[in-house]
Each structure stands twice: as C-alpha cells, then as structure tokens.
Amino acid sequence: MNLRAIALLASIALARGVAAADVEADADRAFREASQRAVAGDRGAIDAFEALGDARPATQWTQHAWAEAARLAERAGDLPRARRALDQVIALGTDEALVERARIAQARLAAQTEGGRWDAVAVEHDRLVAVIRGGGDPRAALGELEALVRANPAYPRASLARRAIARGWEEEGDRGRAVGVLRDGAADDPGQRMRLDLARMLVRAGALEDAARVVHAALATPDADRAAFRDVLTSIDEEERRGLRRTGLWVVLGVLAFVAAGSLRRATGSWRAAVRRVVRPPIEVLFLLPIAALLVVIAETGNPLVARAVRAIVIAGVVVAWISGSVLEAVRARGSVGAIRMAVQATLALFAVAAASYLAVDRDRVIELLLETWRGGHALR
C-alpha cells in the first residue's frame, strides 16, 4: 500500500470520526432541548424524545430518549405509549441499568392495568389522586374516586384507591365515611392490609371495641401480620389510658369553672351581680377577639381537622380570658389585687387553656394524623 492510499484511508477515517462526533453533538443538543420542554410542561416533549429515539444512526442518547418518553407518557396518562417506549428501551439493550428499570416499570404497569385492560381506570385514578393532593377542596374528587372504585371492583389498585379515599375523608373530618370505605374494602379484599387499616382507623375514631373485634378476627387467620395487629392492640390500650386522661382533664376544667364562679360570686356579692359582670367583656377580651377571629378564619382555609382544633383552642382561650378578666375586675372594684392572687389566677388560667388545648388536639388525634401524613404523604396511589 503506497503513501497515497494510506493518506486516503486516514482522511476517510477522520471524516467518519468528525461526522460521528457531529451526530453525537446534535443528539446531545436535541436531548437537552427536549428536557427543557419537559420541564416547561410542553406535552410536545414526548414527541421530541421519540423522534430522537427513532433517529439513525443511534447515539448514546437513543436509549435515554426512549426512557424519558416512557416516563413522560406515563405521567401524561398515555399508558400504551409508555409501554411502547419501554419496549424500545429494552430492545436497544445498550445500558443494562436502563433496561432493568424499564423491565421494572413494565411489570408495574402490567400489575396495575393487566396489560392495558385497566388503562382508562388507572389514568382516571391517578388524575383524581392528583386533584385530591392538589391542596384545594378534595371532596368532589373523593366522591368521584369512590364511584370509580364501585364501578370497577376488580381494578387491581382498588385497595390503594380505597385507602386514599379513607385518608382523604378522615382529613376532611368525616371519620364515619372513612371507616365505611375501609370496611367495604376489607370485605372485598382477601388480603390483610385493608383490615389492618380499618382497625387503625377505628382506634383513631374511638371505636375501641369494634377495633378489637377486627384485630382478633384477623389474628385468627393464618396469614395475619401478627406483629402489626398486636401493635393495634397496644394502641387500643393506649387509647383507653388516653380516655382516662381526657376524663380527668374535663373534671379539672369543671372544678376550675366552679372555683371561678365562686370567686366571682364572692367578689360581686350576688349571683345577679356576677352575671352582670360576666356579660360585660373585659378590656383584654376586646383586644383579643379580632386576633382570635383572624386565627379562626385562617385555620378554616386549611385542613378541617386542624381548623376544628384551632377553633376549639381559640374559643377556650377567649372564654378563659373573659372569665379571668371578669373576676379580676370584680376584685379590683372592691380594692387592690395582690401579687399572689394575680400569680395564682394567671397560673390557673394558663393551666385551663393548656388543658383545653390538649383536649382539642387529642380529640381528633390531629398531631398523629399530621405526623403520619408527613411521613407517608397525603394520599396513597
């Protein structure tokens, strides 16, 4: 081979290398542009990724483009399109990690939709869950999701949908409806997860005997998660102790109310004068009322359970401030108010507000509900 032939072959190889580099650079640019469109919410990004996946010659971005197209198609609710894109990822097979993720995604979609049979239901399920999690009023979407499950009892994700519905109604303050959803699910679902959720919901609703019956019935089956159900039995015992605490705090609040009434009666000289004194709001209450009203209004825009707790705490604070202020004004009208009396009355008032706050928060298990929501998300998919 002479020098001229060698130079020609080298030139051809160099030209091919430059062309391949140009193809890779163009593919890289196309992938970045499609990614930017996806971030911006442009539904045409799926078309762009598919076009890059179909482009030949194949590049290092070909398989990644199909993987992104599958992800976006599933998010958009186009499950057949997502499955086709996953098939392409697996067929190319150049990146083992991508292939493995594609196989997992295919298996998940197959379990959720039985090969496409439940595509429409799955898409509507995901849409309604997104609405429920969107931060607005979820009640209409919860009703629609209930209707969807009733109309499609064989839907593979029906149990997950029921759990999301139950959690949604519980957060809306309707535990009775939430219990009904889980009870129906436990009757239809041969597994134990729904029964476990039902038992936990009954405990939170205060139906301890009913919860115990559900737990003991589950423990009688051979496939029960015994550790989980025994935890529910432990929570039933804790709830019984909680009930004793609540009863004790109500008794204490009753005693404090009786003491305050007696103090006001002694300071005013008669029950009629005491009533007249209470009818007139103390000056501190006049300042407190607008702030209290604002807190209630703000709370009403959020979670109904939290709003109910805030409303109860605010009302308790205003009532305690009203009664305490009326007693102090009555005592002050008969002479000076000593420092010790002021300190004792302030301490009792703070204790009354703390007790009422505990009862308000504990009534609907608001703290536990918020912590569980924070750990597990707003709703199950």
On whether the 120-224 domain is CATH 2.30.40.10, my answer is no
Compute the distance between CA of residue 127 and CA of residue 115 in angstroms, rounded to an integer: 20
pLDDT for 375 beyond 70: no
pLDDT value at residue 143: 93
Angle between helix 44-54 and helix 62-75 axes, rounded to 10 deg: 150
pLDDT value at residue 328: 81
pLDDT value at residue 219: 86
The residue-averaged pLDDT of 158-175 equals 89
The chain-wide mean pLDDT, for the chain, equals: 83
- Of 264, 358, 366, 252, which is closest to residue 308 (Cα–Cα)? 366
Compute the distance between CA of residue 368 and CA of residue 355 in angstroms, rounded to an integer: 18
Among 83-87, 204-208, 209-213, 338-342, which is the least confidently predicted range?
A: 338-342
What beta strand segments (E) does the chain contain? none
pLDDT value at residue 367: 67
CATH top-level class of 3-117: mainly alpha
The two three-digit tokens of residue 283, written as one number: 């000056």
Angle between helix 79-92 and helix 44-54 axes, rounded to 10 deg: 30
pLDDT for 303 beyond 50: yes
Which of 3-12, 78-87, 128-137, 322-331 holds the top average pLDDT? 78-87
- Of 195, 256, 250, 258, which is closest to residue 362 (Cα–Cα)? 250
pLDDT value at residue 101: 92
pLDDT value at residue 166: 92
The residue-averaged pLDDT of 273-278 equals 82
The residue-averaged pLDDT of 323-346 equals 79
pLDDT for 206 beyond 60: yes
Q: Are 330 and 277 in contact (CB under 8 A)?
A: yes
- Of 312, 317, 309, 325, which is closest to residue 291 (Cα–Cα)? 317
**What global pTM score does this model have?**
0.62
CATH 1.25.40.10: which residues of the chain? 120-224
pLDDT value at residue 368: 66
Which of 3-12, 13-22, 81-90 holds the top average pLDDT? 81-90
